[in-house]
Each structure stands twice: as C-alpha cells, then as structure tokens.
C-alpha cells in the first residue's frame, strides 16, 4: 500500500515539476538586453575607481597608503611625495584593474574621500596593460559623492590655511606670553 | 540490368546525402532549440546574439569548434583517444539507416522507400549499434588517462549494460504485436492504432530505458558536470568534442524517431502528409526530452542501478508474459 | 629581591625595578607614553595606570612610578584601571589633530595604537583644539607640534640623556611647547633619536618623509658601519630603495639609540651614481663577461710576471666574508697577501690593539656607562664614534670622572677634564697619571715587566699647567673603583695602544677591576687586523708598482684615493698598471679609473658579519635584494610598464662571491675550488683562524660573541713594559699636523649621503692661541697651509682647548688634503700665511 502511495506521490511530484517548467516557458524573459539597454546603476554601485578633487580643485589624495594597505588583492600602489608647499600627494598612483575585485574597501579606508568607486564598469579590452590605470587616468575634476569635504580644513596641519585658522581650532599658543 | 543497378545506386547516394545533410542540420539546430527552450523555461532569452534570434548560433559554434586547438593529453592512449569520438558519431548516424520516416514516394516511376534500408532485423540492428556506441564512451573515458574521464567512461558502460536489458525487453511486446523486426513492418502494424494505446507500460519502460541509454538528464551520470568535470569527454576539445556533442543530439533525434516508429505509429496519421506526421511526432518527443532536462534533477548512481535492475526489468518481463498470454489468447 | 604578582603571575625582580618593567619581563606590556626603558620614568602621561590590589600600595597607581615591592598584587586588566587608561587616552586626544593620513608616524604610532586599543573612536569634546606653530629643526627632523601629548621623552633624551641644550620645553601647563628658542638645525649629533622615541608624530624623519608606511617596508635587523662601534639598526627598504634606519635595541652595544651619522649615512646605497653594471674600461658588460676578461688578464700577467705581480687591497669597511675570501683567494693563487691598511704604522697600531684585548679587559659600551673613571687617550668620541660619547655621558650622569688626553679641541656633551698634549706626549701624560694613582706594590705583584713599565713611567708630567691639573685627577683615579681606559688608534703613535693596555692592566691590579676600550677607524678594522697576517700597507704596494714589480692591482671595496696621503703619486702609480681591477659599490674615484669594474653589494643587500672594535662578531641580514630604486628608474613617475624577470641593476653580487667565481676560472687544475656557500666560507675561516671556531653560523643573530687574541695568554705584557720616552723637548719652529675625524664629512661611506652633506661644517684648521699669536694670525682668517706637494686654503679657527705645537685639520670630503708625502707631517711655522 505504502509503495503505491509513494509511487503516486512520486509521479505527482514529477508532473508538478513538469507543469511548473511548462508554465514558465510561457513567461516573458526577465533578462535585460545589456548593450542595447543600459540599466541605470545606483550611485553607490562599485566599479571603476576614480580619484576626486577638493572643492578648491586640488587633488584630494594625500597618498597615506591606507587604500593600498587595506586592498585585499594588492592592486593599488603609489608613491607619496611632498609638493613644494609641503602638501602630501601621490607622485604616482596606480590601480591594476585586472586584479581589482571592486570590493570598495579602499573607499571605506580613504580618510580624505579621494578614492571613490563609480558605477562605470565597462573596462574590458584586449590588452591587459590597458587595465593598469595611472594617476592621470584616475583623476577626475569633481568631488564625487561629496563635493564639500576638504580634509585639510579639519586635519590641523598648516596647509590650506595657517595653524589655528581651521574648523574648531584655537589660535596658536603664543610662546612669549605669560598669560595662562 | 546494369543501368537499373546504377540508377538505383545514384538514387541511393542522393537519398543518403539528403538524409545526412538534413540529419546534421537538424542535429545542429537541435542544439539551438534546446538552448532556446532551456532559456525560456528559465525566464531567459537563450542565444540571441548570432543572427536574428540567434539562428546563426550553430554556425558560430561550428566555427568555434573547428578552429579550437585539438589537444591530446600527454599521457593519453593516443590512437584510442582519437578514435573514440568517431565511434560515437558514426554509430549514431548508422542507427538512422533503418528508421523509416515516410511511407515512400514515387519519382519518375520509381518507388522510393523513405528509409535508407528496410532491414528485416532492423530492431536488432538498432539494439546492436546502440551497444557498440558505448565503446566510444568507455574507450574515450579510458584513453584520456584522467580520473574524471575514466569514472565517466565506467559509469557510461555500467549504465548502458543495465538499461539495455529493460530497453530490449520493453520492445519484445512491440515485436510480438507487429510480428516483425522490420521497422517498416512495425510502423505499418500501427496504421490503425498506435502501440502506445496498446502497450502503455512498454512505452514508459522504453522511454525511461532509452533516456538512460542516451545519457540524457536525469540519467547523465557519465558526464555529471558537478562531480566529474565533464565525465568521459573532459579531456576532449575542438571538433573531437564536437563529435561527441553531435552524437548526443543525433541520438536524440533517433530516439524521437524510434519512439514515433515503435509507439506512435510512425508516419501514419490523418489529414497531414506522412512526413509531416513523422516530424511532428519526433518533434514532440524531442521537446519532451528537453523539457525533462529543464525539470528533473540527476538521479543518484544507486538509484539508477536499483531502478534498472529491480524495477524496470521485472516490470518488462511481466509485461512480456502478459502480452504473450494476451496475444496467444486472442489469436 | 621583591617578589610580586602581576595578573596572577609571580615574578621576582631587583630592588628598584618599576612595576611596568617587572610586567614587561612577564610579557605583559602595560600601555605607556612617557616611560621609556632608556630614559626611565617621569609619570607625565598617566596612561600606565594599573590597579594595586594587595600590598604596600593600594588602588589605581602609575606602574612606571611605583617600585616593585614585596607582596604586591597587581592587576593590569582591572576594570577601574582600564577605564582610567581609556579616559587618559581620550584626554590626550582632545587636542590631537586628526591628521594621521598626512602624518609620517601613522602606522607605527604609539598614540594611534593605544587610541585603538582603548576603544576611543568618537570625539565627545566639542571645544576648540589647542594649536602650536611649528619650527624648522634642520635637515633631519620634521616638527609638527600640534600632535604633541606632552610626554617629555624628547626633552629628557635631548637634554638629560644626550646632554645637548638647544631643544627643550618652553611655556607651562596647557601651553607646554617642545622645541628650540629659534628655528635652526638641531645641534646634537644624536637628534634623530627623538624621532624614534616620540610616541606620536611630533618629530618625524625628514629625509624619508612620505616615502612609505611601516607596513610597506622590507624591514630587517642590520648593523651600522659608519664607525667601529657597530651599532644595531633596523633597516627599512621599499621599491628597491633604502629609505630609513632606526635604532635597534642592543644590550651591550648601543642600547636604544644611534647617532645621526649612522641614521642618515646609508644613502650611499641609493646613490644615483652608484655603479651597478660591470665595466671593461668604459664599456658596460655583463658580470660574467667581466669575470672572464679579468681571468684572462690575470692569467696573462701571472704567466709573464709571476704570481707576485698582482697586489690586492682590501678595506676595513668590507665585511668579514669579503676580507676572508680575498685572503683565501691570494693564498690559493700564491699571490702576496692582501693589504688592508694605508700605512705600516696604522697596521701596527691596530694589530697591537687587537692583540691586547681579552675577555676581562675588553668592555662594552654598557660597561663604560657603569665606570666611575674614564680616561680617554687620543680619542675624540663625538667625532670618531659618536655613540661612545653618549655612553660616556651616562657614566658622567652616574658621577664618573672623565678625562680626555688629546691634542685636538675635543668637545663632549658633559663636563670633563681635557689635557691637551701633543701626540708625542700622550704616553708620558697617560703613564704619569697611572703612576701617580697606582702604588708600586700593585706592579710588583704583576711581575718584572709590569715593574719595568711602572719604573720607566715618568713620575710627573713636565708641563706645569697640565701637571697642576693632573694632581686632582690622580686623586680621583686613586679613589676610583672601576676605571676604564679608552684609547684611539688614529692620531696616536705606534706604541700607544700597548701603553694603554699596560696601563689598564696596572689599574686592574691596583683597583681590582679595569676596562680597556679601543676606538678604531672603520667598521671592520678589527676583522681586518685579525685576518691579515702581514703588516703590509698601501705605501708598500705603491712602491712596488713604482719599481715595476707589481703590474696588476685589485681593489676590493677599497678606495685608496680617499685615504692615501699622496694623491698624485698614487695616480701615477695606477696609470702605470697593466691591470687595475676594482670591486666596489661606491662611485669612488678608483671605480672611475678602473680597467675592469665589478659592482658589489652593500651591507643592506647581503648577509654579512662585522667585528666591532671590542671584538664582537656581529651579523646583519639583507634588507632587500638590491637593484636600482624604482624612483631613479622612472625619474619620479610611475614604474615602467614592462615585464621582466630580473631586477633592473640587480647584477651586483657580494664581493666574496665575485672573487670565488674569478678564482674558480683562473685556478689551475687540481687547485681548490671555491664554493659560493657562506657556510663553507665560514668553515674555512674557522679552520684557518681558530679564534673564529666558536662563532655560530646561525640564522638568529647572536650579538654576544666576542673574539679576543689575548684570551688565555700567559704573557700579560707582550711589549715587555717598554715606554717610548716622550718628545717633550720640542723644537718650536715646526707645528705637527694632526688629521682627525669629524662627525660629519670625514667618514667614507657617510660622505656620500646627500643629507649629511647638508649638515657638514666647512673644513677649517684649528690652532692654539699661543701658536696663533706667534704667527700673528687671527680667528676666522683664511690661511694657506703648505704641504709637501702643494698648499691648502681654509679658514683658521683659534681654540684654547687644544695642545700648542699642533695644528688640527679634518680628513674632510671637501678638502683635497692628499698632498702629503709621509706621516707625521711637520709644518714649518713661518709658512702658514694669510
């Protein structure tokens, strides 16, 4: 008796399955036809990385090496250097997109909002070296997701203004004064 | 007399060429059809980039397969490795020699049967060739000298041996009813009533056993991708892989044809021309096979063996006894 | 010995040990900012708070200010203490700027670590931050005062530990400022240490500013080879470029600190002109090709002129491996032994010094710190071996008396007695002191030779002012319990090292304990003296070339053009050579003249060993694999986008390996073949020089292995107790020229450092006021100094802290002083003119 019941159940299950697949056969495919239709991606989707600029137009990147340190695939490399006015900047900055996994950790690590991921993902090509981006390929002329932030306004080092002139700072201590 | 013979030979060659071209084309497009159907069943489009609706996809695949490097593993048994895909492809094509796909036409006063050759032991010929084609798989798997291929080959051989028996046995009642091994005779015996109505058990047994024979899902254990890479053809590339592939799809058509011939009354049918009826029936069977593929998961090896030996063979034997008794009783 | 319990673990420590140190011995590192084991406690930062649960002290207390006492039960993980520490960090962060991304300390910042460890992530204080203006502190140190957490480490090191006054604390309380009165280069040659000890980024390394983070560097333990002390350092290399050196703690050598010469002297490794390819004349070839050509040339000369026709010069800056392989090479080829010293005098001085050290007499710098009387003879520590001055200062802080007998105007960062006497008078002055302080009975106990030494010593120094000052010094020496004699080997006479050793032996007999500490000219002078058997010198080699008996010259990491007194003569000799083969890593003058040049590896690229001036065998690992720095290849831009398997410019090999390859080609069949394995070389060294037999060739770096020739020797006075009678009767018509070292500008390797070049002082001639007034010369006048082969122009400095009858001049990089025929140089008085 049990066998027959099992058999019946089994056959029903098979038929149900067949019915399901048949039903879907009549449905309209959900696939988006990519090159013809480009789906508008959310601003925070993660693809090609750019280096943004401060509101005053300077490079935001101070080459602190945090992104290269946090990068799980070590695809970021750079050399920090000092500009004549003492500002820290990357002398060269290289991202190997052939290695990048677009995890976005670099963007999270970046203290100056310089490195940001953009929704642009169309980078494939036939020459792998074209996927190695240098600083001039990465630099853009805007602030990316935040156009207001200026690291040096908060850092407390004399760069965009003298000591004591920036956000939340007192005037420098006068070494010649006896006042408390 | 000589002229007659030469003319017959020419007709035969022309017929062979036409059948071969159609068969290969249909097999190639069957790939497209399968991918398209599978896509739709999964709410996708399937191939739609090469040509309109992806119709040039088979051509693109062909170009790709031919231009790909033909690699032979270093430790492979080279001769057998190169031979194996040929065996599979050839056997699949040979089986079609005895399949009747129409009642016959008359051209310039000559009656041309729509079958390559009407062997009087056609059914035995089919069983024999299907047994040989397992050599292609077993040898290909062994000659690759790869563990995945070997396991695939062994599974293939075991599966073939196990399911050949119920397949053969399920056809015995058909022969008993048609009183002939010739496929043309069997078709003609169903002119009034297809055997599917007389022998539903046989039909189901044959369908299952034949599915296992051609290694289609849910019986694709020899090439189980997630366990064995690609089974017996893991090490094959280029057109040699293409031959395995071709063999598989030709076998699908053959299976459709055989079911049409054995159970659905072949080309017989009302209103429409016989060839259309035949193609229709083949088409329905092929669609079912694809549908199965889209629906069923692969069964386990022990389930496969149990089903074959403990379920199908006893039922088939019982079916023979019952049919035999009925045939004896009614005659 | 108090016994206490910290976090459930028991430990027994010496009386006076602080709880924070006791915990460190258990492996429990209590957070600290102001406490530094080299500087001691001050209790300024309050972050080392722990909970004292049982014992004489109770409650939350500073572990750096509390002496370990019996019965203490301390918990470092107690909730109250942890909460206290957490709040301390939050207070310290109140005024700390958020500039970690542009701060060079980021990545190895103690404040960063503890902020994270304390869990302080969000700023709660909304008030304004205190700011400071920064100062220019010179070439080495970058100042960013906003980051300061007022731990006082810098001032405590700079003023108390090192003894310089120009950097200190200004203002009070909330406004405390660490810096100088005005902007300017820091005066101390130890200024780099404030970078190491600053727990945050107030002082950062300027030359390596922004070159990388700690985690990006290839770091490894290494040695400083800019003087003979062999201080321990940590190297940092990145992108095939040595970027930074830091002090590595060494119990017996340098402690926690190093000097600026060591810290910033390494730039010769990255020198843009450093030769990196083998050369035949001016044509660059592969190393193998150059070796083949060299082998052919050598075989030709050997066949034509015999095996003695090729001379080899090694150097005292080469490692033990290079020196030993060169000797082995010459022996197997049947050549003359290689020469390591410029003059026979130098060779003799060093060999005598090396022969006199034994395990009891030789002292390390740590032991010098414990001495209560230090007598430096012919030594100018700040200029010759700066870290020794720091060790002497620690002895001074422990109330030791320090006496320097030296003709030069010696400066030391503490109070000391300077007896300026001419080189000839060093020995009489020293022995007179010893004789005054040691009773004859002590000498009697030691045997006949000691007695002869005692008796030959002058009873008193004839020069009256100095004699008067010596009275007090003698008294101090008589009372001392642990006197140490420091003896230089550069300006002293041949016999002085022996006299110093004899004096030390006498002092030991009288006081029970005494130390002897030699200063040598270069990093591996000791090794060269141990290994070389002949007392040959460059002078002899030059003579042989002039005679025509030597046709080929091979220099292994040696640049005689720098050190040989007569430049023109050497140049002419070299021009006569059939084969002039140079192996080096410096863009030296010799390298430019070489017929065949082989690039060798620096200390930072190979695994090496050096023997420091007290006979300590020390090991260094390679910091990186060599090659041209990426910044030089790409001229500052991004690295080239080409794939290659080899390291660009990475052809250099250790000199000893080049020698081995060369030997294997020119060796006749049947002769010994050299292996390229360092272990094999060391087993050869151990076999040939049994003194090295106990040196472990291990992967770890032992620093407590000393080799001493005098060990177990029965005859204590090899010189027989002879003292050369002093040249006190001096004719007044000539002045002796003494050439000494300066901290920056005279040591060979560090002169290639572009940063040290910026702080070098312009060379000048020192003269005593007495001589100057006789000549009618005034301070800071430009004068011409006539030498044997030409004249020198420089500024005159009149200092009263130097011996009359002597003029002092540095062997300065900027000074073409190599116009001297022979040492010692006497200059006729009247010839020094404006």
- Average pLDDT on C687-700 reads 79
Listed by start position, the domains of chain B span 1-67, 73-330
Is residue C248's pLDDT more than 60? yes
Domain of A70, CATH number, reads: 3.30.70.3270
**Are chains B and C in contact at 3+ CB pairs closer than 8 Å?**
no
Say how far apart CA C260 and CA C743 lie, in whole Å.
9
Tokens of B308: 């074959």
- Between C755 and C709, where is the model more confident? C755
Residues from chain B that touch A22, judged by Cβ atoms under 8 A, are: 41, 291
- Average pLDDT on C5-11 reads 93
What domain range includes position C56?
3-92
Region label for B89, one of left (φ > 0), alpha (ψ between -120 and 50) or beta (otherwise): alpha
Q: Are C365 and C393 contacting, i.e. CB atoms less than 8 angstroms apart? A: no
Average pLDDT, chain C: 91
A125-139, B222-236, C416-430: the lowest-pLDDT one: B222-236
Candidates C812, C805, C809; CA nearest to C828 is C805
Q: Are C832 and C786 contacting, i.e. CB atoms less than 8 angstroms apart? A: yes
DSSP C168: E
Distances (CA, A) of B92 to A71, B85, B87: 55, 11, 8
Percent of chain B with pLDDT over 90: 3
The residues pairing with C204 across neighbouring beta strands, listed in sequence order, are C142
Q: How far is B249 from chain A (nearest CA, A)?
A: 22
The reply to whether C325 falls in a domain is: no
Residues A25 and A73 in one domain: no
Say how far apart CA C812 and CA C794 lie, in whole Å.
12
Mark which of C92, C119, C143 sits at the end of a domain. C92
Q: Are B31 and B249 contacting, i.e. CB atoms less than 8 angstroms apart? A: yes
What is the reported pLDDT for C700?
62
What is the reported pLDDT for C551?
92
Is residue B5's pLDDT more than 90? no
Q: Are C422 and C407 contacting, i.e. CB atoms less than 8 angstroms apart? A: yes
Residues from chain A that touch C102, judged by Cβ atoms under 8 A, are: 62, 64, 88, 155, 157, 159
What is the reported pLDDT for B2?
82
Tokens of B295: 């629906």
Residue showing tokens 């990147």:
A61
Say how far apart CA C686 and CA C696 lie, in whole Å.
10
Residues from chain A that touch C144, judged by Cβ atoms under 8 A, are: 157
Residues A53 and A94 in one domain: yes
Tally of domains in chain C: 2
What domain range includes position A94?
49-155
Residues A89 and A16 in one domain: no
Q: Judge whether A171 is closer than 8 Å to chain C, CB to CB.
A: yes
The reply to whether A59 falls in a domain is: yes
A103-107, C394-398, C436-440: the lowest-pLDDT one: C436-440
Residues from chain C that touch A108, judged by Cβ atoms under 8 A, are: none
Chains that touch A (3 or more CB pairs under 8 A): B, C
Residues A59 and A123 in one domain: yes
Q: Are B277 and B269 contacting, i.e. CB atoms less than 8 angstroms apart? A: yes
Q: Encode pLDDT of C435-452 as tens digits.
A: 999 998 888 888 888 888
Residues from chain A that touch B39, judged by Cβ atoms under 8 A, are: 29
Q: Judge whether A138 is closer than 8 Å to chain C, CB to CB.
A: no
Say how far apart CA B322 and CA B314 lie, in whole Å.
12
Residues A11 and A66 in one domain: no
Q: How far is B48 from chain A (nearest CA, A)?
A: 10
Tally of domains in chain A: 2
Q: Encode pLDDT of B242-255 as tens digits.
A: 888 888 888 888 88
Chain A interface mutation, best of C150, C182, C210, C216, highest count of A Cβ atoms under 10 Å: C210
The reply to whether A57 falls in a domain is: yes
Domain of C743, CATH number, reads: 2.40.40.20
| Helix H or strand E segment including C737 | strand C734-740
What is the reported pLDDT for C731?
59
Asked if A24 and B37 come within 8 Å (Cβ–Cβ), the reply is no
Instruction: Name C805's Cβ contacts closer than 8 Å, sequence gap at least 6.
Output: C422, C730, C732, C735, C736, C768, C771
Q: Are C233 and C245 contacting, i.e. CB atoms less than 8 angstroms apart? A: yes
Mark which of C52, C71, C92 sits at the end of a domain. C92
Is residue C668's pLDDT more than 80? no
What is the reported pLDDT for C133?
93
B211-220, C236-245, C327-336, C766-775: the lowest-pLDDT one: B211-220
Asked if A157 and C146 come within 8 Å (Cβ–Cβ), the reply is yes
Distances (CA, A) of B105 to B110, B114, B146, C539: 8, 7, 50, 118
What is the reported pLDDT for C399?
93
The residues pairing with C653 across neighbouring beta strands, listed in sequence order, are C600
The reply to whether A84 falls in a domain is: yes
Question: What 3-state class would DSSP assign to C266?
Answer: helix
- Average pLDDT on B188-194 reads 82
C824 upstream amide cis, omega within 30 of 0: yes
Is residue C562's pLDDT more than 70? yes
Asked if B44 and A18 come within 8 Å (Cβ–Cβ), the reply is no
Mark which of C59, C92, C125 sits at the end of a domain. C92
Q: Encode pLDDT of A28-52 as tens digits.
A: 888 888 888 888 999 889 999 999 9
- Average pLDDT on C214-228 reads 94
Say how far apart CA C804 and CA C824 lie, in whole Å.
16
Provide the pairing of β-strand C782-787 with C790-798: antiparallel
Q: How far is B310 from chain A (nearest CA, A)?
A: 14
Cα C42 to chain centroid, rounded: 30
The reply to whether A125 falls in a domain is: yes
Asked if A14 and B296 come within 8 Å (Cβ–Cβ), the reply is yes
The reply to whether A12 falls in a domain is: yes
Q: Encode pLDDT of C492-524 as tens digits.
A: 998 899 999 999 999 998 988 999 999 999 999
Q: Encode pLDDT of C798-826 as tens digits.
A: 999 998 889 999 999 999 999 988 888 88
Asked if C175 and A173 come within 8 Å (Cβ–Cβ), the reply is yes
The reply to whether A62 falls in a domain is: yes
Q: Encode pLDDT of B95-114 as tens digits.
A: 888 887 777 777 776 777 77
Instruction: Name C644's Cβ contacts closer than 8 Å, sequence gap at least 6.
Output: none
* B44-79 residues labelled b (16+ CB within 10 A) or e (exposed): ebbbbebeeebebbbeebbeebeeeeeebbeebbee
Is residue B15's pLDDT more than 90? no
What is the reported pLDDT for C713?
67
Tokens of C245: 């050196």
Is residue C727's pLDDT more than 70? no
The reply to whether C280 falls in a domain is: no
- Between C641 and C202, where is the model more confident? C202
Is residue C744's pLDDT more than 90? yes
Q: Encode pLDDT of C575-607 as tens digits.
A: 999 999 999 999 999 999 999 999 999 999 999
Best-predicted range by mean pLDDT (B219-228, C18-27, C660-669): C18-27
The reply to whether C399 falls in a domain is: no
What is the reported pLDDT for A139?
95
- Average pLDDT on C166-181 reads 92
ipTM, 2 decimals? 0.87
The reply to whether C412 falls in a domain is: no
Instruction: Name B79's Cβ contacts closer than 8 Å, sequence gap at least 6.
Output: B143
Candidates C355, C321, C205; CA nearest to C679 is C321
DSSP one-letter string for B205-222? HHHHHHHHHTT-TTS-GG
Residue C696: count of CB within 10 angstroms of its CB? 11
Q: Are A24 and B41 contacting, i.e. CB atoms less than 8 angstroms apart? A: yes
Q: Encode pLDDT of B149-179 as tens digits.
A: 888 888 888 888 888 889 889 888 888 888 8
- Average pLDDT on C30-41 reads 93
């Amino acid at each position: 008796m049990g066998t027959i019941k099992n058999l019946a159940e089994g056959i029903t299950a098979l038929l149900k399955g067949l019915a399901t697949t048949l039903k879907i056969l009549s449905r309209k495919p959900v696939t988006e036809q990519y090159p013809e239709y480009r789906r508008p991606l959310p601003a925070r989707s993660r693809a090609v990385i750019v280096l943004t600029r401060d509101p005053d137009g300077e490079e935001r990147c101070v080459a602190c090496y945090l992104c290269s340190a946090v990068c799980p695939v070590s695809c970021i490399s750079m050399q920090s250097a000092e500009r004549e006015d003492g500002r820290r900047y990357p002398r060269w900055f290289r991202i190997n997109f052939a290695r990048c996994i677009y995890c976005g950790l670099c963007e999270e690590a970046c203290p100056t909002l310089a490195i940001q991921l953009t929704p642009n993902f169309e980078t494939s090509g036939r020459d792998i070296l074209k996927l190695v981006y240098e600083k001039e390929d990465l630099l853009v002329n805007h602030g990316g997701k935040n156009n207001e932030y200026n690291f040096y306004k908060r850092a407390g080092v004399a760069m965009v203004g003298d000591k004591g002139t920036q956000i939340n700072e007192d005037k420098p201590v006068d070494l010649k004064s006896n006042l408390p | 007399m000589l002229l007659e013979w030469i003319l017959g030979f020419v007709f035969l060659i022309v017929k062979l060429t036409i059948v071969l071209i159609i068969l290969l084309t249909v097999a190639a497009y069957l790939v497209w059809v399968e991918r398209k159907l599978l896509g739709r069943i999964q709410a996708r489009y399937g191939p739609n980039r090469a040509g309109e609706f992806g119709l040039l996809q088979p051509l693109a695949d062909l170009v790709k397969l031919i231009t790909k490097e033909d690699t032979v593993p270093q430790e492979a048994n080279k001769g057998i490795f190169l031979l194996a895909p040929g065996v599979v492809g050839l056997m699949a094509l040979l089986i079609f020699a005895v399949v009747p796909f129409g009642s016959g036409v008359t051209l310039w006063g000559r009656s041309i049967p729509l079958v390559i050759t009407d062997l009087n032991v056609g059914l035995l010929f089919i069983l024999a060739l299907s047994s040989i084609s397992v050599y292609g798989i077993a040898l290909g798997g062994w000659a690759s000298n790869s563990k995945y291929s070997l396991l695939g080959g062994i599974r293939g051989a075991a599966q073939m041996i196990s399911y050949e028996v119920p397949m053969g046995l399920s056809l015995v009642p058909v022969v008993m009813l048609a009183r002939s091994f010739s496929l043309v005779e069997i078709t003609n015996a169903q002119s009034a009533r297809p055997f599917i109505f007389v022998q539903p058990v046989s039909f189901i047994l044959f369908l299952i056993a034949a599915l296992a024979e051609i290694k289609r899902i849910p019986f694709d254990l020899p090439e189980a991708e997630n366990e064995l890479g690609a089974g017996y053809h893991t090490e094959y590339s280029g057109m040699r892989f293409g031959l395995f592939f071709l063999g598989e799809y030709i076998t699908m058509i053959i299976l459709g044809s055989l079911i049409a011939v054995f159970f659905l009354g072949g080309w017989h049918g009302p209103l429409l021309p016989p060839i259309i009826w035949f193609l229709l029936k083949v088409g329905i069977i092929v669609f079912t096979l694809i549908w199965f593929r889209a629906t069923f998961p692969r069964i386990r090896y022990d389930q496969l063996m149990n089903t074959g030996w403990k379920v199908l063979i006893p039922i088939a034997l019982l079916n023979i006894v019952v049919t035999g008794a009925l045939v004896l009783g009614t005659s | 010995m108090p016994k206490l319990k910290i976090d459930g673990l028991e430990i027994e420590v010496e009386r006076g040990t602080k709880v924070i140190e006791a915990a460190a011995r258990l492996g429990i590192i209590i957070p600290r900012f102001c406490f530094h084991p080299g500087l001691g406690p001050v209790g300024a930062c309050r972050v080392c708070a722990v909970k004292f649960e049982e014992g004489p002290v109770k409650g939350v207390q500073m572990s750096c200010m509390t002496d370990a006492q019996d019965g203490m039960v301390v918990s470092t993980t107690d909730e109250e203490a942890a909460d206290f520490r957490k709040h301390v960090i939050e207070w310290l962060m109140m005024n700390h700027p958020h500039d970690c991304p542009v701060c060079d300390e980021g990545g190895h910042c103690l404040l960063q670590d503890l902020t994270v460890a304390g869990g302080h992530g969000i700023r709660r204080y909304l008030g304004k931050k205190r700011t400071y203006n920064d100062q220019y502190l010179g070439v080495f140190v970058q100042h960013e005062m906003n980051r300061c957490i007022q731990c006082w480490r810098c001032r405590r090191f700079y003023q108390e530990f090192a003894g310089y006054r120009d950097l200190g604390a200004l203002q009070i309380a909330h406004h405390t400022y660490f810096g100088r009165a005005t902007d300017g280069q820091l005066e101390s040659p130890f200024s780099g240490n404030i970078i190491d000890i600053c727990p945050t980024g107030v002082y950062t390394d300027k030359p390596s500013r922004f070159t990388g983070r700690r985690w990006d560097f290839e770091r490894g333990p290494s040695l400083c080879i800019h003087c003979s002390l062999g201080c321990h350092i940590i190297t940092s290399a990145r992108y095939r470029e040595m970027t930074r050196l830091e002090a590595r703690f060494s119990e017996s050598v340098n402690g926690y600190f190093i000097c600026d010469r060591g810290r910033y002297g390494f730039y010769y490794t990255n020198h843009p002109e450093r030769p990196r390819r083998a050369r035949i004349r001016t044509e660059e070839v592969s190393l193998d090709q150059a070796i083949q050509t060299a082998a052919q040339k050598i075989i030709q000369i050997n066949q034509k002129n015999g095996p003695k026709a090729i001379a080899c010069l090694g150097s005292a800056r080469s490692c033990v491996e290079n020196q030993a392989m060169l000797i082995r090479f010459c022996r197997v080829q049947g050549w003359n032994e290689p020469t390591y010293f410029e003059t026979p005098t130098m060779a003799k001085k060093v060999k005598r010094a090396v022969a006199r050290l034994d395990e009891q007499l030789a002292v390390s710098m740590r032991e010098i710190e414990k001495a209560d009387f230090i007598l430096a003879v012919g030594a100018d520590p700040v200029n010759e071996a700066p870290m020794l001055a720091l060790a002497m200062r620690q002895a001074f802080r422990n109330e030791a008396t320090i006496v320097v007998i030296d003709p030069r105007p010696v400066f030391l960062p503490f109070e000391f007695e300077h007896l300026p006497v001419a080189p000839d008078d060093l020995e009489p002055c020293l022995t007179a002191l010893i004789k005054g302080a040691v009773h004859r009975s002590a000498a009697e106990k030691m045997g006949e030779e000691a007695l002869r030494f005692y008796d030959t010593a002058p009873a008193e120094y004839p020069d009256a002012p100095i004699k008067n000052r010596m009275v007090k010094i003698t008294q101090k020496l008589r009372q001392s319990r642990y006197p140490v004699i420091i003896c230089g080997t550069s300006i002293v006479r041949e016999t002085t090292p022996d006299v110093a050793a004899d004096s030390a032996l006498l002092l030991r007999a009288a006081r029970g304990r005494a130390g002897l500490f030699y200063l040598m000219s270069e990093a591996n002078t000791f090794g060269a003296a141990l290994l070389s058997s002949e007392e040959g010198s460059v002078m002899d080699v030059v003579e042989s070339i002039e005679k025509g008996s030597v046709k080929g010259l091979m220099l292994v990491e040696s640049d005689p053009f720098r050190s040989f007194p007569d430049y023109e003569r050497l140049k002419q000799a070299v021009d006569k050579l059939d084969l002039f083969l140079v192996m080096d890593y410096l863009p030296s003058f010799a390298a430019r003249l070489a017929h065949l040049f082989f690039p060798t590896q620096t200390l930072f690229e190979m695994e090496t060993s050096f023997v420091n001036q007290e006979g300590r065998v020390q090991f260094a690992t390679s910091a990186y694999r060599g090659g041209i720095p990426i910044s030089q290849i790409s001229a500052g831009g991004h690295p080239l986008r080409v794939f290659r398997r080899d390291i660009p410019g990475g052809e250099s090999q250790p000199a000893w390996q080049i020698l081995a390859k060369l030997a294997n080609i020119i060796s006749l069949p049947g002769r010994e073949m050299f292996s390229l394995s360092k272990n094999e070389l060391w087993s050869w060294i151990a076999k040939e020089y049994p003194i090295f037999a106990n040196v472990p060739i291990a992967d770890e770096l032992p620093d407590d292995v000393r080799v001493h020739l005098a060990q177990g020797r029965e005859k204590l006075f090899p010189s027989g107790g002879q003292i050369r009678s002093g040249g006190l009767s001096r004719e007044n018509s000539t002045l002796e020229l003494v050439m000494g070292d300066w901290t920056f500008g005279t040591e060979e390797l560090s002169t290639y450092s572009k940063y040290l070049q910026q702080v070098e002082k312009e060379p000048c001639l020192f003269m005593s006021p007495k001589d100057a007034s006789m000549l009618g010369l005034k301070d800071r006048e430009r004068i011409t100094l006539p030498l044997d082969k030409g004249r020198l122009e420089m500024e005159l400095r009149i200092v009263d802290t130097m011996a009359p009858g002597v003029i002092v001049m540095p062997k300065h990089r900027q000074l073409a002083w190599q116009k001297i025929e022979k040492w010692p140089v006497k200059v006729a008085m009247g010839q020094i003119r404006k």
